[in-house]
Amino acid sequence: MKTTITALLAVGCTLLALPVLPASEPRARAYRVNAIETLNSPTIEPGASEFTVRHILGEPARKLDANTWVYERFRAWPEPPVEDDRRTLVIQFHSGRVADLLLVNSRAEVVIAARLQTKPGARELVAAK
């Protein structure tokens, strides 16, 4: 009996000594979108102009940079699982035209914004002897 109590105390003290791990953050998740449909409006597809996007969707909620616009409260069809919070539309432009449409969660938006802030050559490593 004493051995069991001692063993339980040892296990309990060991568990208390372990560092507390933070709750895991949600993973960055994104869907590539083929087209955006709104009621009584033409669709937005890759190749559409910035003017067309602004005319149909209005001003973006925010811009991550001049070529990356963010719109909120969008949804996919068919509906994703309830725990999936991809409700933010990110539109990326190249030469004034839609290059990419992404439906993302909040973590993915943070990742995209961070990548845009990274200087172009910063991700490349060069080694010389």
Output the six-digit token pair for 83: 């725990």
Domain that holds residue 40: 26-118
pLDDT higher than threshold 60 for residue 123: no
The more confident residue out of 39 and 16 is 39
Q: What is the tally of structural domains in the chain?
A: 1
For residue 84, being part of any structural domain is answered with: yes
For residue 129, being part of any structural domain is answered with: no
pLDDT at 48: 96
For residue 98, being part of any structural domain is answered with: yes
Reduced to 3 states (helix: H, G, I; strand: E, B; else coil), residue 47 is: coil
For residue 128, being part of any structural domain is answered with: no
User: Which residues in 85-119 are b (16+ Cβ under 10 Å) and which e?
Assistant: ebbbbbbbbeeeebeebbbbbeebbeebeeeeeee
**Residue (of 73, 40, 41) closest to 54 by Cα position:** 41
CA separation for the pair 36, 25 (Å, rounded): 29
Q: How many residues does the chain have?
A: 129
The torsion angle over the Cα atoms of residues 113, 115, 117 and 123, rounded to 10 degrees, is 170
Looking from the CA of 118 toward its CB, the CA atoms found within 13 Å total 11
Output the six-digit token pair for 8: 């339980």
CA-angle at 74, arms to 96 and 105, nearest 5°: 90
For residue 57, being part of any structural domain is answered with: yes
pLDDT band at 83 (very low <50, low <70, confident <90, very high): low
pTM given for the model: 0.70
